[in-house]
Amino acid sequence: MILTTPAQIRDLLARVRTVAMVGASSNPLRPSYTVFSYLRTQTAYEVTPINPTLTEIDGIAAYPSLEAYAPKRGAPDVVDVFRKPSEVVGVVNDAIASGAKAIWFQYGVVDAEAIALADQAGLDVVVDRCMKVEYARFRGGLSMSGLNSGLISSRRADEQP
């Protein structure tokens, strides 16, 4: 099912325990490192990097593929995808084979074929959103503008009590 409403996304985030992050980077300047680091340190999620060129990120063992991850760690609750759109059909096939329950396509990772494939396989699908941003937003860490306000409100700052 393609999740589009805030309530659907919030419910998915509440169910998550394990995240396999495909395309996680060890480069602190890359968004995939920032999201990996945030989810690992600011949530209760067990986040594992999936990257064939790395053995670990910040002391967390990396796996070269979901195929290598699943037999040792079990099916991930969510596969968080940081790959080029042209590469994600293969990631979806790997996610399905690993037994993943959901797939999360980060900002800009949009491929209609991959989205349809994941949806038809029964995965929960989030498209063109950031897991870190959505988590922080529902926990009161971001305003709708993306800045850390400590709260979420429909009132402008000059209207706050």
Residue 141 pLDDT class (50, 70, 90 cuts): low
Task: Report how far residue 56's alpha carbon sits from residue 77's, in angstroms, rounded to the nearest whole number.
Answer: 21
What's the token pair of residue 142?
A: 């971001």
Q: Which CATH number does the domain housing residue 29 bear? A: 3.40.50.720
**Count of domains forming the chain:** 1
Can you give the pTM of this predicted structure? 0.85
Element (H, E) at 16: none
Which residue intervals of 16-143 are DSSP H helices?
A: 31-42, 66-73, 88-98, 112-120, 131-138
- What is the DSSP code (8-state) at residue 43? S
Q: What average pLDDT does this structure show over 27-40?
A: 93
What's the token pair of residue 14?
A: 């509440």
Strands 46-50 and 56-57: unpaired
Check whether 46 has a pLDDT greater than 60. yes
Q: Is residue 70 part of a domain?
A: yes
**Whole-number mean pLDDT of the chain?**
89
Phi–psi pair at 51, nearest 5 degrees: -160, 120
Nearest of 144, 106, 126, 132 to residue 41 by alpha carbon: 132
What's the token pair of residue 74?
A: 């079990």
Q: Is residue 52 part of a domain?
A: yes
Domain that holds residue 13: 6-159
